[in-house]
Amino acid sequence: MIRLLNHQNRSAYPALVRAMHADRKRVFVDMLKWAIPHDTEFERDQFDDGRAEYLVLHDPASGEHLASMRLLSTEGPHLMTEVFPYLCAGGILRGPDIREITRFCIAPRRRAADRRLARNMLVRAMVEYGLLTGIRSFTAACNMGFLSEVLSAGWRCHPLGMPQVVDGSLIGALRIDIDPDTLRMLVGSWSCDPVDLRLVENDTALAA
Amino acid sequence: MTEFADVEKFIGASRRAVTPKALDDLLADISAEMGFDHYALIHHVDLTPMNKRLTHMADGSLVALTNYPENWVESYVTRNIVANDPVLLASHRSNVGFKWDEVANFIKVTSTHREITRDTRQAGLGEGYTVPAHVPGEANGSCNFAMRTGRSLPERNLLMANMVGSFAFQAARSMVLKARDVPMVREHAPLTSRQLECLALVARGKSDWEIARILGIGSESVKHHVKMAREHYDVPTRIQAAFRAVFESQLTISDVVP
């Protein structure tokens, strides 16, 4: 199941939020060696505040965190304005219909095939969420080592500037445009069954 | 125009290109604009179907567009150098572009590799820059830019070459995919997670008995899972099945190397 977490419902899922930050520490700090704020257990930074939204894939039975991404509004400060402005030669793309993807994290415990399925489900949820809420584009700073994989999804993806070497890695800013066609483009190795995406709390209305 | 404007123009035009020839022309133009003498955009597979009319792309066989010297292409294909080209082998170990003189940073260079490098030079290709194109679950590919022997790489355009190479590969791959009747990824049911677990342990050199102990299942079950995986890939040995699972990215190297 994929759940949208935001400032309204985040406190209802403390274990899942902790598991996500713990996996982010494993992936981004321990494995990828990014120089970002963390403690011994969790990775979180100044953008993990009330404005952040998350799409989180988890196993509803065990509660295990499988994959997640953070979506930031591009109207306020986000990574492209605060950390990577030099990646956007043509200016930083901002607006109410543009979200920035950061901390795209696939839990490292599973095998490659399962991780790819988790990737596909999360990306499909991201596109569906975009279509449902009127998001036109997603932006992201991307390690160029993954560029071929990102492009292979077949969607309309454009660079926002020339890549630069940052801490020994080649990083570039990308824009991915979303429209109803995008879902049909996610085929072949990017395909997955329709995802169970929960954007609202089913139970709260009943309780009220 | 700035370099970035050139890249954007190339991306737009490569998306609109309908025929392999149109894409080939675009790649020739931008390679020359960046200051390279030659390019080779290829899938790392048997290149025998390659031909000058580019029907190998139009019929969905493979990605291959190049303006390497004709004699060298012919020799490259007939000798099946693609399987042992040190530059391509190095590209499997790198995520981003690298210069050909850095190959030894990625692989152990053997005498066969040195021989191929010597023949490449004799064919008129000296320095080069290779942009890997890894798409999980599919054959490897790369966009190679080369200089005539004695000429230096256009250092200031190597970042640009990274972008151009990746977008060019996707444009060519998408063209080939569209031409295929069958999708690039196998459609039959994927291996089960138990089968993958067993294959990962097979690749680590474990016996059926050991695998059974590790997974907490019976030896007969292990035998069954491995047999099903062999039948899935239609291969006679367990190690071949494990390799195929890695090739298809059902398993990664980190799954099989503890």
State the SS3 of A44-68: CCCCCCCCCEEEEEECCCCCCEEEE
Residue B77 to chain A, least CA–CA distance (Å): 25
- Angle (deg, nearest 10), helices B208-215 and B219-233: 110
How far apart are the C-alpha atoms of B152 and B149, rounded to whole Å?
A: 8
Picking from A32, A111, A155 by the largest number of B CB atoms within 10 A of its own CB, the best residue to mutate is: A111
Residue A88 to chain B, least CA–CA distance (Å): 10
B191 vs A171, more confident: A171
Name which of B133, B134, B190 is nearest A113 (Cβ-Cβ): B190
- Confidence bin at B249 (pLDDT 50/70/90): confident
Residue A204 pLDDT exceeds 60: no
Q: Print the domain residue range for A62.
A: 2-206
- Going by C-alpha positions, the residue among A180, A200, A188, A90 that lies closest to residue A139 is A90
Least-confidence region, from A6-20, A191-205, B110-124: A191-205
User: pLDDT, tens digit, for every residue of B39-76?
Assistant: 999 999 999 999 999 999 999 999 999 999 999 999 99
Give the model's pLDDT for residue A109: 86
A112·B249 Cβ contact <8 A: yes
Contacts of B197 in chain A (CB under 8 A): 111
| Alpha carbon distances (Å) from B41 to A197, B73, B138 | 39, 12, 16
Give the model's pLDDT for residue B146: 98
User: pLDDT, tens digit, for every residue of B107-152?
Assistant: 999 999 999 999 999 999 999 999 999 998 889 999 999 999 999 9
How far apart are the C-alpha atoms of A132 and B74, rounded to whole Å?
A: 53
Residue A153 to chain B, least CA–CA distance (Å): 9
Instruction: Search chain B and give the residue with CA nearest A149.
Output: B135
The predicted model gives B233-240 an average pLDDT of 86
Residue A175: both structure tokens together: 């824009």
Give the model's pLDDT for residue A29: 95
How far apart are the C-alpha atoms of A18 and A68, rounded to whole Å?
A: 12
Residue A191 to chain B, least CA–CA distance (Å): 10
Contacts of B167 in chain A (CB under 8 A): 151
User: pLDDT, tens digit, for every residue of A76-124?
Assistant: 999 999 999 999 988 899 999 999 999 999 999 888 888 999 999 999 9
B4·A162 Cβ contact <8 A: yes
Chain A contact residues (CB < 8 Å to B) = 89-90, 111-114, 116, 143-149, 151-152, 154, 158-159, 161-164, 170, 172, 187-189
Q: What is the DSSP code (8-state) at residue A40?
A: S
Residues 6+ apart with CB under 8 A from A55: A2, A3, A4, A5, A68, A69, A71, A122, A125, A126, A129, A197
User: pLDDT, tens digit, for every residue of B144-201?
Assistant: 999 999 999 999 999 999 999 999 999 999 999 888 865 545 445 678 889 999 999 9
Average pLDDT, chain A: 91
Work out how many CB contacts closer than 8 A connect A with B.
Answer: 95
> Looking at chain A, which runs of residues are DSSP E strands?
2-5, 53-58, 65-73, 98-106, 137-143, 156-159, 164-166, 169-177, 197-198
- Measured over the CA atoms of residue A177, residue A183, residue A187 and residue A192, the dihedral's sign is positive
- Measured over the CA atoms of residue A129, residue A131, residue A133 and residue A136, the dihedral's sign is positive
A143 in Cβ contact with B95 (< 8 Å): yes
The pTM score is 0.82
> Structurally, how many domains does chain A consist of?
1
User: pLDDT, tens digit, for every residue of A175-190?
Assistant: 999 998 898 888 778 8
Residue B40 to chain A, least CA–CA distance (Å): 17
The predicted model gives B22-45 an average pLDDT of 97
ipTM above 0.90, yes or no: no
Residue B184: both structure tokens together: 């690039």
Give the model's pLDDT for residue B234: 82
How far apart are the C-alpha atoms of A54 and A48, rounded to whole Å?
A: 10
pLDDT above 70 covers a percentage of chain A that reads 96
Give the model's pLDDT for residue B181: 65
Residue A206 pLDDT exceeds 60: no
Residue B1 pLDDT exceeds 60: no
A134 vs B137, more confident: A134
Residue A90 to chain B, least CA–CA distance (Å): 9
Residue A203 pLDDT exceeds 80: no
In what helix (H) or strand (E) does residue A118 lie, and over which residues does it extend? helix A112-133
User: pLDDT, tens digit, for every residue of A32-65?
Assistant: 999 999 999 999 999 999 999 999 999 989 989 9
- Strand A98-106 versus strand A137-143 pairing type: parallel
Contacts of A158 in chain B (CB under 8 A): 8, 11
Q: Name the residue with tokens 């995406």.
A: A197
Give the model's pLDDT for residue A205: 44
Residue A208 pLDDT exceeds 50: no
- Angle (deg, nearest 10), helices B238-247 and B219-233: 60
Q: Name the residue with tokens 């930083």.
A: A92
B242 vs B2, more confident: B242
Residue A95: give its domain's CATH number.
3.40.630.30
How far apart are the C-alpha atoms of B77 and A20, rounded to whole Å?
A: 49
Residue B138 to chain A, least CA–CA distance (Å): 8
Chain B contact residues (CB < 8 Å to A) = 2-4, 7-8, 11, 95-97, 132-138, 141, 159-160, 162-163, 166-167, 169-170, 173-174, 177, 183-185, 190-191, 193, 196-197, 200, 249-252, 255
Instruction: Search chain B and give the residue with CA nearest A146.
Output: B95
A151·B251 Cβ contact <8 A: no
Picking from B7, B166, B177 by the largest number of A CB atoms within 10 A of its own CB, the best residue to mutate is: B166
Work out the burial of residue B220: count CB atoms within 10 Å of its CB; fewer than 13 is exposed, 13-18 middle, 19 or more buried. Answer: exposed
Picking from A88, A109, A152, A185 by the largest number of B CB atoms within 10 A of its own CB, the best residue to mutate is: A152
B135·A152 Cβ contact <8 A: yes
B144 in Cβ contact with B153 (< 8 Å): no
